[in-house]
């Protein structure tokens, strides 16, 4: 029961963090972290990363060195993903115009552009997650892996390999 509550809390926290930090849900630890209700929302990458690392510190008991490194990984990923937001807005606006004009070639072009932006965001986040995972101790990895069996890396993100475990 205690494990289920911890897992549920972790999933909710990361899901909420990703949704609030970006315009759409991102996957993974580098999604950043929003704020609790009743406070001002921030989009500052360093602040978002610090909040996420604070959560992970409580969950995994990170050392000071791990906190410093993780904050750097996640700040870089959040910054890179936020830089893609303008491109995403432009592509969505162009896609809407193409839909209204029934211009199938432009629809394909903008859909492809959006897919590429999404791929870049996923890669940025996954690279930060990989760097973070690499600095964890064996015990921390075991704890995180146990939580991952319940979808810890974020909404819709499933690392289960068919025939894996």
Structural domain contains residue 165: no
Q: Which of 16-25, 28-37, 77-86, 121-130 has the lowest mean pLDDT?
A: 16-25
Structural domain contains residue 124: yes
* CA angle centred on 61, ends 59 and 67, rounded to 5°: 100
**Entry pTM:** 0.69
Q: How many domains does the chain have?
A: 1
Domain with 123, as residue range(s), is 2-148
Percentage, residues of the chain above pLDDT 70: 65
Q: So what's the pLDDT on residue 34? A: 42
Q: So what's the pLDDT on residue 145? A: 87
Task: Kindly indicate the confidence band of residue 154, based on its pLDDT and cuts at 50, 70 and 90.
Answer: low
Task: Kindly indicate the confidence band of residue 148, based on its pLDDT and cuts at 50, 70 and 90.
Answer: confident
CB burial class (10 A; 0-12, 13-18, 19+) of residue 6? Answer: middle
Structural domain contains residue 163: no
At residue 151, does pLDDT exceed 60? no
Rounded distance between C-alpha atoms, residue 103 and residue 90, angstroms: 17
What are 97-121's pLDDT values in tens digits?
Answer: 999 999 999 999 999 999 999 999 9
């Amino acid at each position: 029961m205690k494990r289920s509550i911890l897992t549920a809390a972790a999933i909710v926290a990361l899901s909420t963090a990703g949704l609030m930090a970006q315009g759409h849900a991102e996957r993974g630890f580098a999604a950043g972290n929003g704020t609790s209700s009743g406070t001002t929302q921030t989009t500052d990458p360093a602040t978002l990363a610090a909040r996420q690392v604070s959560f992970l510190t409580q969950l995994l008991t990170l050392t000071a060195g791990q906190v410093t490194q993780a904050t750097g990984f996640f700040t870089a990923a959040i910054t890179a993903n936020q830089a893609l937001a303008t491109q995403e807005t432009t592509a969505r606006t162009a896609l809407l115009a193409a839909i209204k004009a029934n211009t199938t070639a432009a629809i394909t072009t903008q859909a492809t552009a959006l897919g590429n932006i999404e791929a870049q965001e996923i890669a940025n986040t996954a690279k930060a997650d990989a760097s973070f995972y690499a600095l964890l101790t064996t015990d921390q990895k075991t704890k995180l892996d146990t939580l991952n069996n319940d979808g810890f890396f974020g909404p819709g993100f499933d690392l289960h390999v068919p025939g894996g475990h």
